Every structure is written in C-alpha cells, then in structure tokens.
Amino acid sequence: MVRISGPAQREGRAASDRRRPTQGTDRGIVKSTLSPAGLRRATRRTLAGAAATVLGAGLALTAVPGPALAAVGPQPGTYTGLGFDACTAPTGAQMQAWREHSPYRAVVIYFGGVSRGCAQPALTAEWVAAQTAAGWHLVPMYVGLQAPCLATSRPRIDPAQAAAQGRAEADDAVARAVELGLPRESVLFYDMEDYDGGDATCTSAVLTFMSAWTARLHDQGYLSGFYSSMARGVADQVAAYDTPGYVRPDYLDFARWDDVATVSDPGIPAGYWAPKRRIKQHVGPHDETWGGVTINIDGDYLDVAPLPATRFGDFTGNGWSDLGYRDPATGQVHVYGGNGTTLSGRITLGAGWNGMDVIIRAGNFDRAGGEDVIAREKATGYLWLYPGTGLGISGRIKLGAGWNSVREITPIGDYDRDGYQDLLAVQSSTGALYLYPGTGGGAFPTRVLLGSGWNSVDELNAGGDFNNDGYPDVVAREKSTGYLFLYPGRAGAPNTRTQIGSGWNTMRDLVQLGDFDRDGRPDMVAVQKSSGYVYQYRWLGAGWASPIRLGTGFGAMTPLL
Ligand SMILES: [Ca+2]
Ligand SMILES: [Ca+2]
Ligand SMILES: [Ca+2]
Ligand SMILES: [Ca+2]
C-alpha cells in the first residue's frame, strides 16, 4: 500500500515555535490595529459596499466571449515597481489616465470570492485584455472564506471542513479566472484578513485551507499567492514554510503600512518566497489623483517573475512534475501528480508492465502531446515508446531491438541539443557509456561513445542541469563506495566528475524528477531500501537539501520513473 505524505504531518509544530513580530515596534501594525481608518485591506474591501456584492459579482463575472480579445499572458508576469489596488476596478478611461500620468504599472483586481466587498462593473474579460495590452500587470485577488477566529459577519472557514473548502474555493477562483481570460500560470492570490486573537486551532484551519487551495490551483495549472498582514497571517505562513507536507503558496503579498517601498521585511527570512515572489502593500487607503482622475487606493510594491518551468517530469501537463512507479503485485504503472510539495491524484497507465525490465520516462520524446514512457521488453530485448497523452498512454511504437545488451537505460534530456530527447546506456559487456540521440521515434541513429569504465556505477541519473550551464548533466552512484558523483555535461563526453554525496547505497531507484518544486534547480527521488520511504532530494546548487519524505509504502514498488 502506497501512502502519500499529506497535511497530517504538519501538526507536529508547537504554537510557541511560530515567529511572531513584536507588535510594539511594528508601526504599521499598530496603526492598522488601532485606527479605524487603518483597517487592513480585507476588512475595508469586504465591508465596503456589502449590499452590492451579489449583484455586482453577478454583473462582473458574466463571461465575455469574443475572438477580438488580445492574448493575455500569465499575470502578474515579470515586474518590479509600484502598483495599487482599488476596491472597484477602475474604468478603462481611468486606467488610461493613470497609465499615462501615474508611476503605477500594476493593479490588484478583486476577481472573486464570497467576501469580496465591491461591485466590479468594469471587470470583464475585455477589460483584462485591454489593460494587459496597455502594459498593466494584474494581481488577481480572491476574497473568500475568512479565518475561523476572525470577528466578522462574513462566511468563515469551518475547521472540520478546511481542506474541502480550500479546494472548493480554488475551483471557484479558477472558474472566475477563466471567465476573465486569465490564463494558466497566473498567480491567484487569496486575501486572508489578518486574524489577530486566534489560537492554534485557528492557525491549523487556515494552514489546512491554504495548503488545499494551493495544491488545487496547481492541479489546474494556476499558481498560488497569499495576502495578509504581518502580525498573524504572514507569521503563520512563515512558520509553516518548510513544514513537511505543507503546500505553501508560491507568492506572498504582505501588508505593512510603513510607506517603505520594498519587498524585504525582518519578519520574512530572505530565502523565503525568493527570488521575485513577493508583493508588499506598504501604503494604506488614501486618495491619489493622476491625469485628473482620483481613486482611493492602497499602495503596493511588487517584485515578481514567473516560476521557472520544469524541463522534465510533467507527465500530466499542469506545469508540475510527477512521479511514476510500477506495482509488481498488479503489473500496473501509476503516476502521482506533483504539486511542488506533495503527491496526489494518481493516474494509471494500464497493466502488463511486469513483462518489462526497464521502464523510464523519456520527456516529450516524440514532441507530440505530453511526456512519454519508454520500456524494454524482457523476453525480446525490444525497446518500446509509449506516447503519453497527459491522462494515459496511446499505442506503442517499437524503437529497436537488441537493447538487452545494455543496462542503466536512462533519459538524459536533449544532451546534444538538437531538439530531441536522448537516452544514455552502459554496454554491459564493456562498461562503455553511450549516448543514443533521439529522433522522436523509430530506430536510433548510430550511438555515440561517451566514456569507459561505467560498470563501476550501478545507478545512473541524468538530464538535470546541476551546474546551470545549459547542458544536461549525469549523476552516478559508484557501486563499491556508495558515493554519488556529478559529471557535468557538455558537447561530447562529460567533464571530470565531482563527488556530491556519500552513503547512497542505502537507496535505490535514483530517478530524475525534473524541477519538482520549480525553484530553478533539478530534483531527484529515491527509495530508502530499509524503510520503503520515497524521498525528494532538492539540489541547492552546490549540495543537497535535507531529504523530504514524499511517501511511504514504496518498498515493493520498482522501478520509479
Ligand atoms: Ca504534472
Ligand atoms: Ca537530442
Ligand atoms: Ca549542466
Ligand atoms: Ca528544484
């Protein structure tokens, strides 16, 4: 039985471990806490114009189909600079005046949620297309269920239903985003009003809710953001940042009204939500006039860019790499969808795989549809390509015969950089390492000798760009020592190896995972022989982070792919 680590692991952290900024020295928080005019954005946005919410939302969310709309890229895209948010999205004419006369190039749009406060007569797909074409960066903000410990008449999270509610809110947010023409890879921010006065149950409910929100957005190809104030909402996210199983938001929008336009903050460790994953709301509500147009706004400072894309491992096509394995008891191959932190949503690639003694993922080998699977048939030595569809595989194609003379058949990405995915393998009789340049299907052209002496290694892993030079690299475990070595790739034979680990003979199935967490660096998975746990290994640029357990019960599951 394979179990996947989930939110249950999160509960080990004591409430006293949380980082909590000192309120007495936090002028922005004091201001927002004590002054009615300083109510944080969510309060103001949710309470203003409450009577108009339903009608306004209905009007605003009417889909506006039409082929004339300009293409909209993922929002907010790449931007460092000033932004603003207004309770109601300004009209096109107002936006034009501010585009011409104000320093702002980003605008927060309240695009959905039961707690959204203002009518949105302007906010349509046409508006979105027009504003992005005019050069505006949009920050989609969803104001849904609020923390259970918040004193509000608005709907709140039910701690017993927090995960289900987080998923449901994410589904609604995606529907609203689609109506507005906001494409996948856009960041959908959740506006969680700060919940001072809460307790551990409240924090737990918010984290469970947000974890489910983020995971569900990832399932659907959208990215997650979190907005709150520093006092509690952001402090809880900071405390949970590295908690195993917690699917943290990809981007952070934090409120500290100290008029300092920066995304740095002493309450947020520098390595968190970095690089370019932050927005600060640094100015509270006030009127500004540009080009003769006055709007009541909050001031924001953005430093954002899209997440790096994984180059490998996204079988399901939602932007996040996945993990596959064979269950020998059934002969089935399964693929668990990754969301950057955990695994969920298993799909099955059929049965009958016990006749194969090699099963690997091959990237998008045939350059059609999604990622593909390659397998070697034990009885014949034939190599087969199973084109992936994102949901499964379609009819197989024979790539060649005689493959039982090699071992460690390994995907290496596009090693020779001709646009096609390639394979590596070791000739069992000689220990020679060969590159098999892919052509997308059919027989491989002449293989290329890359090196000798490779019978001294018993695990090969390739395709990740560990030294960030644009060439896929090779990782190998030395049989006699259990050391892990990195062989930097280049045109021709790999460069001189460097040792990047020891003790790896306690593991098996060291498999490339692509960039699982989309931090721009390759990741790897392996099964611990003694426990059957599957671990993720994050490459940090010069070494590995502490392994992260992704699942248990993998003792009998082999191979991973
Ligand atoms: Ca995926
Ligand atoms: Ca190639
Ligand atoms: Ca490289
Ligand atoms: Ca990574």
Stated as kind and residue range, the H or E segment containing 387 is: none
Could you identify the residue written with the tokens 């109506």? 179
Per-chain residues with Cβ under 5 A from ion ligand 2? 414, 416, 418, 420, 422
- Give, as residue ranges, everything with CB less than 5 Å from ion ligand 1: 314, 316, 318, 320, 322
pLDDT of 22: 24
pLDDT at 70: 80
Q: What is the pLDDT of residues 404-413, one digit of tens each?
A: 999 999 999 9
Does 142 share its domain with 289?
A: yes
Report if residue 1 sits inside a domain. no
Beta strands (DSSP E) in 339-436 are 343-348, 356-361, 373-377, 383-386, 397-400, 406-411, 423-427, 433-436
Nearest ligand, CA 319? 1
Buried b vs exposed e over 365-377: b needs ≥16 C-beta within 10 Å? bbeeebbbbbbbb
- Minimum-distance ligand to the CA of 517? 4
pLDDT digits over 320-356, tens only? Answer: 999 999 999 999 999 999 999 999 889 999 999 999 9
HEC secondary structure over 290-339: ECCEEEEEEEEEEEECCCCCCCCCCCCCCCCCCEEEEECCCCEEEEEEEC
Same domain, 269 and 337: no
Tell me, in angstroms, the distance from the centre of ligand 4 to residue 306's CA.
15
Residue 262 sits in the same domain as residue 355: no
* Ligand 3 mean position, distance from CA 361 (Å): 20
Quote the ligand 2 centre to 179 CA distance (angstroms). 39
Tally of domains within the chain:
2
One domain, residues 191 and 340: no
Helix axes 92-101, 125-133, angle to 10 degrees: 20
User: Do 300 and 363 reside in the same domain of the chain?
Assistant: no
**265 and 335 share one domain:** no
- Between the CA of 497 and the centroid of ligand 2 the distance, in Å, is 22
Q: Are 540 and 523 in contact (CB under 8 A)?
A: no
- Indicate whether 230 and 334 sit together in one domain: no
Q: Cα(474)–Cα(335) distance, rounded to whole angstroms? A: 24
20 located within any domain: no
Residue 521 alpha carbon to ligand 4 centre in Å: 4
Q: What are the Cα distances from residue 282, in Å, to 48, 92, 519, 522? A: 21, 25, 27, 35
State the Cα–Cα distance between residues 80 and 106, nearest whole angstrom. 9
Look up the domain containing 477 and give its range: 323-396+456-560
Ligand 3 centroid, distance to 476 Cα (angstroms): 14
pLDDT beneath 50, residues of the chain: 1-66
Ligand 1 geometric centre to CA of 428 (Å): 34
Write down which residue in 235, 269, 304 finishes a domain.
304
Residue 350 falls inside a structural domain: yes
- Global pTM reads 0.86
Query: What separation in Å is there between the alpha carbon of 320 and the centre of ligand 4?
Result: 11
pLDDT at position 18? 27
Instruction: Verify that 345 and 470 share a domain, yes or no.
Output: yes
Cα(365) to ligand 2 centroid in Å equals: 9
* Domain end call among 271, 304, 337: 304
Q: For residue 63, how far is its CA from the centre of ligand 4 (angstroms)?
A: 37
Q: What is the pLDDT of residue 415?
A: 94
Q: Which ligand is nearest to the CA of 313?
A: 1
Q: Is residue 447, in this structure, part of any structural domain at all?
A: no
Domain membership of residue 73 (yes or no) is no
Neighbours of 79 (CB within 10 A): 20
* For the CA of 316, the nearest ligand: 1
**Closest ligand to 318 CA?**
1
